[in-house]
Amino acid sequence: MSDLILTNAAIYTFDPTRPRAQAIAFVNGRVAAFDDDARALKSARTETIDLRERIVIPGLVDSHIHFTGYAMGVARVQLDGARSVEEAVARVAARAQNVKPGEWIFGMGWNQMDWRVPQFPNKNSLDAVAPNNPVVLDRKDGHSVWVNSAALRAANITRATRDPDGGVIDRDASGEPTGLLREKAQDLVSSSLGFEADYVAENDLLAAIKTAHRFGLTGIHNIEGASALRAFQNVRAQNKLTLRVLHMIPAANLENAIAVGLQSGFGDEWLRIGGVKIFADGSLGSQTAWMLEPFEGTRDQRGVSVTPKTEMERLARAAARAKLMVAIHAIGDRANRDALDVFEKLRGENLSENFRIEHVQHLHPADLPRFRALNVIAAMQPIHQTSDYQMADQLIGARGRWTYAFKSLLNAGATLAFGSDCPVETLDPLVGIHAA
C-alpha cells in the first residue's frame, strides 16, 4: 500500500508512454503508480494530499555546483550586487569593526564589471579600512581573489615572488603586487592560512540542503575539494543527507585517489564519487579564459592556460585508466579545443570512460561536431549568459556569436547537461532553465 498519494495535480512524468497524470502514489519514498493505479494503492494509513491543480515534476539534478561554497556564504561578507568599489569596501569595513585584530576576513561575490567604474580593484582601498586584518575576497567566478597588504604579508607574497605555473600575481608599474591574484596564484594565500577556509558548519550545510529541496533539487554534481567531501560524509553518516551528491575530485587529489583505488560510482545512492576535474583555463570575467585570439582592445592578451595541454593529457589519461570520469573546465575557445584534442587522443587509445567539458562557454564553430564524434558531454550553465552577455560583447566582440551555443551544439548532436555554477549564480534551477 502507498505511504503518500498526491491527487488533483498537473503531473509531468517525462515518460513518453504517459507524459501527463493527475495522481501519483509513493511507496517507501519512491514513485509506485499514476492515476487509477495510484488510487488503488490507498489504504487507511495512506496520507492523501489534494494539490489543487498544482504542477508536479521529477526532481531536478544540478550538473555543476559548488554546494558548500553556497552554504558557507552566510558567514562571509557578501559583495554581490555592489555597484562600486567603494560600496564593496564599505561592506568589508563594517565587518572589520566586529572582528579582532589579526582575524581573517573572508568575502565573496564581487564583480568589477558591475561597478560604475569597471576596473579591477587593488589592496589600497582594503588597507584603508582593515589594516590589521588579512582580507581575502573571492571574485564572483572564483578565479581571482582581491586581498590587502596584511594577506599578502601572511602569504609572503612580495615583488620578488614569481608567478606560479597557471597563475598571475597582478603588479603595478614598479613591480609591486597590487592585491589581485588570478587562478593558481590564489593558492599562495589559501596555503598560508593554517586552517581550512572552506570549512562549512553542519547546520549551514543542512539549511542549504533544505533550500535546494525548496527549489526542486534532489541531486547535484558537486565540484569541490576534500573539505566538502568530508562534510557530506559526516551528514551521511548521521542519515541526514537528503540530497543525492555526485562528488568530483580536484586534479590535485588525483594521485591519492588512484593510490587508494577510487573509481567513479564508488559510494551509495546518496553520496558517490563522480570523477576528476581538471582546469584548462580560468574565466571571462577575470580575463583568464584561454582564447584563440586576443581579447578585444588588447594587443595579445589571450587569457591563462591554467593546466598546459600536455599536463592535461597526462592527468586525463591517468584518471581514465583508473576508471574515473574526466571533466575539464574550459571557458575560452582555445581551452575547449585543447580539451577536445585531449579527449580525441584518449578515445584513440580506446579509453571508454565518460568525458565531459564544464562550461563550454566560447567555441570555435569547427569544434561543434567534435562533441558528438568524441561522445563528450557539454556541461553548461545557461544562467551565465544573462550576466555575461555585455561583458562578452566587450571582451570577444563578434566571436560572441559562438558563445553559449546551446542550440548549435544540440543541432550537432551533442549531449548537454545543465547546471547553475552556484554560488557564482543563483541556486534556483528555473532561472537557468528560463535563461536557456
**Domain CATH number, residue 419:** 3.20.20.140
Q: Are residues 360 and 227 in the same domain?
A: yes
Average pLDDT over residues 49-72: 95
**Backbone φ, ψ for residue 339 (5° rounding):** -65, -45
User: Can you give the CATH number for the domain in which 142 is found?
Assistant: 3.10.310.70
Tell me if 67 is assigned to some domain: no
Tell me if 299 is assigned to some domain: yes
Average pLDDT over residues 80-86: 94
- Domain end: 156, 190, 224, which one? 190
Tell me if 65 is assigned to some domain: no
Contact assessment for residue 24 and residue 39, using Cβ atoms and an 8 Å cutoff: no
pLDDT interval class at 286 (50, 70, 90): confident
Q: Are residues 110 and 240 in the same domain?
A: no
Q: Are residues 210 and 318 in the same domain?
A: yes
Average pLDDT over residues 195-216: 87
Q: Are residues 299 and 232 in the same domain?
A: yes
Does the structure show a pLDDT above 90 at 190? no
Range 327-346 burial, b when 16+ CB lie within 10 A, else e: bbbbbbbbbbbbbbbbbeeb
Q: Are residues 244 and 367 in the same domain?
A: yes
Total residue length of the chain: 436
pLDDT tens-place string over residues 403-425:
999 999 999 999 999 999 999 99
pLDDT interval class at 197 (50, 70, 90): low
Tell me if 159 is assigned to some domain: yes
Does the structure show a pLDDT above 70 at 363? yes
Q: DSSP string covering 29-52, please?
A: TEEEEEHHHHHTT--TT-EEEE-T
pLDDT interval class at 195 (50, 70, 90): low
> How much of the chain, in percent, has pLDDT values that exceed 90?
88
| Structural domain for 132, as ranges | 72-190
Does the structure show a pLDDT above 70 at 193? yes
Count Cα neighbours of 318 within 13 Å in the Cβ-side half-sphere. Answer: 20
Does the structure show a pLDDT above 80 at 194? no
Q: Are residues 269 and 376 in the same domain?
A: yes
pLDDT attached to residue 196: 63
Tell me if 197 is assigned to some domain: no
Q: Are residues 304 and 167 in the same domain?
A: no
Q: Are residues 329 and 367 in the same domain?
A: yes
Collapsed DSSP state (helix, strand, coil) of residue 144: strand
Does the structure show a pLDDT above 90 at 392? no
Does the structure show a pLDDT above 80 at 278? yes
CA gap 200, 321 in Å, rounded: 33
pLDDT attached to residue 393: 87
pLDDT tens-place string over residues 227-274:
999 999 999 999 999 999 999 999 999 999 999 999 999 999 999 999
User: Can you give the CATH number for the domain in which 26 is found?
Assistant: 2.30.40.10
Report pTM. 0.84
pLDDT attached to residue 115: 95
Contact assessment for residue 330 and residue 358, using Cβ atoms and an 8 Å cutoff: yes
CA gap 288, 285 in Å, rounded: 8
pLDDT tens-place string over residues 319-350:
999 999 999 999 999 999 999 999 999 999 99
Calculate the dihedral angle through the C-alpha atoms of 209, 213, 219, 222, rounding to the nearest 10 degrees: -40
Q: Are residues 165 and 216 in the same domain?
A: no
Q: Are residues 186 and 145 in the same domain?
A: yes
Mean residue pLDDT across the chain? 94
Q: Are residues 233 and 177 in the same domain?
A: no
List the Cα angle 221/341/245 in 5-degree steps: 5
Contact assessment for residue 434 and residue 383, using Cβ atoms and an 8 Å cutoff: no
Does the structure show a pLDDT above 80 at 159? yes
Count Cα neighbours of 43 within 13 Å in the Cβ-side half-sphere. Answer: 7
CA gap 252, 306 in Å, rounded: 13
pLDDT interval class at 353 (50, 70, 90): confident
- Domain end: 165, 190, 215, which one? 190
Contact assessment for residue 379 and residue 357, using Cβ atoms and an 8 Å cutoff: yes
Q: Are residues 20 and 126 in the same domain?
A: no
Cell numbers representing residue 105 in the block: 576576513
pLDDT tens-place string over residues 12-53:
999 999 999 999 999 998 999 999 999 999 999 999 999 999
Tell me if 195 is assigned to some domain: no
- Domain end: 134, 162, 190, which one? 190
Tell me if 358 is assigned to some domain: yes
What total of structural domains would you count in the chain? 3
* DSSP collapsed to 3 states, 229-247: HHHHHHHHHCCCCCCEEEE
Q: Give me the sheet containing 217-223, strands edge to edge.
A: 60-65, 217-223, 244-250, 271-279, 325-330, 355-359, 376-380, 416-418
Contact assessment for residue 249 and residue 262, using Cβ atoms and an 8 Å cutoff: yes
